[in-house]
Every structure is written in C-alpha cells, then in structure tokens.
Amino acid sequence: MPRTTPTISNPGASESNAPDIDEVAASLRMSIARLARLLRQQDQSGMSPALNTAMVSVWKHGPLTLGHLAQHEQVTPPTVSKLVDKLEQRGFIERISDPADRRVTRVAITPAGIEQIEEIRGRRTEWLSARLRELPADDVARLHDVTLVLEHLVTPPQPPTTNHERTNP
C-alpha cells in the first residue's frame, strides 16, 4: 500500500510544543546543503549541479522544448539556453526538430547522456546507501517519509485554473 505524504504540523499540539518554523527551515537548509555537497563530491564528473539536473530533466521528461525545460528547472530562458549549449557540446543531449511542427526544436538525451546519468547516480547512490545502512531501521523509515515531504516542497506550484478551464460535473 503506498504511503501518503506525512503532515508536517500537528494541529492538536499547543503553540508552545510546535517547532519554530524558522528554526526548522534554517536547520533543514543547512542539512540539505551539507548532504548535497557530500553527494556532489561523489560525482567526479566535473559538471555543475545545474547541468546535472537539466540533463536529468531532459532524460525524465524529454524530448522537451527549451521553454518546458526552463519551467522544469525553474530558471530563465537565457539560463536554460546556456545549459543546453554546454550539454550539447559534451554530447549529452541533442536538438531535434518537432515532427509535428518543424519550427519547434526540442532537446533529447543521447546515449552518452544516459551513460553519464547512470554513472553519476550510481556513485552517489552507492555512497548514500552505505550511509543509510549505518542507521537504525526506524530512522530509515522516517527518512522515507521525509523524502515525500521534501518532494512536495520542490514541486513547482500548478497555476490556478480559470473558470472556463474547469469542467462542470
């Protein structure tokens, strides 16, 4: 049975028992930054985090237009253009014409890009798995629940629908 996203707050808790949101945010930010740094050190590819995440987005969601890639990465169009240029120069992605509209260009992952992703992920996952094996099972289960909450935090908000976009029952 799939797990549901755990709630962060306890509505029944008194104000004095509730954790201070700013303290939680500061502590979480520092822990995530340190973990991200340690994971990047396992990478050894020489690629920036922005290049890695853009390449993974193309792999997961591609082929994508540059505009859609910018949305996925939550960056500006000029930034995504620079990322795509660098990834294309390294042979990790390629530009392809949209078969339905030749004016539209999309980016797609190449076999070299897939290989790069697998190598990076393998090294990082191997390191993190080794660290997780050092923890008690209860802590690993709690971390699983936390990942669901973190995934919610990093998911871009969906634009609100307008009245004419809603369907009536």
Please write the tens of the pLDDT for every residue from 108-143: 999 999 999 999 999 999 999 999 999 999 999 999
Percent of the residues in the chain that have a pLDDT greater than 70, as a whole number: 85
**Residue 73 falls within a domain, yes or no?**
yes
| Count of beta carbons in the 10 Å neighbourhood of residue 68 | 17
| pLDDT(5) > 50 | no
| pLDDT(147) > 80 | yes
The model's pTM is: 0.63
**Residue 114 falls within a domain, yes or no?**
yes
**Residue 40 falls within a domain, yes or no?**
no
Poorest-pLDDT segment among 22-26, 38-42, 104-108: 38-42
**Residue 157 falls within a domain, yes or no?**
no
* Residue 13: per-residue pLDDT: 46
Measured CA to CA in angstroms, residue 47 lies from 42, 83, 99, 128 at distances of 12, 11, 31, 19
* Residue 133: per-residue pLDDT: 97
**Residue 159 falls within a domain, yes or no?**
no
Domain containing 79 equals 48-151
**Residue 8 falls within a domain, yes or no?**
no
Average pLDDT over every residue of 17-37: 92
**Residue 20 falls within a domain, yes or no?**
no
Whole-angstrom distance, CA of residue 5 vs CA of residue 152: 8
The alpha-helical segments, DSSP class H, found in the chain are: 21-43, 49-61, 66-73, 77-89, 111-133, 137-154
The CATH number given to whatever domain includes residue 67 is 1.10.10.10
* Residue 162: per-residue pLDDT: 65
At 63, the pLDDT band (50, 70, 90 cuts) reads very high
**Residue 158 falls within a domain, yes or no?**
no
Please give the tally of structural domains in the chain.
1
At 167, the pLDDT band (50, 70, 90 cuts) reads low
Closest-CA residue to 58 (of 47, 44, 48, 72): 72
Whole-angstrom distance, CA of residue 152 vs CA of residue 138: 22
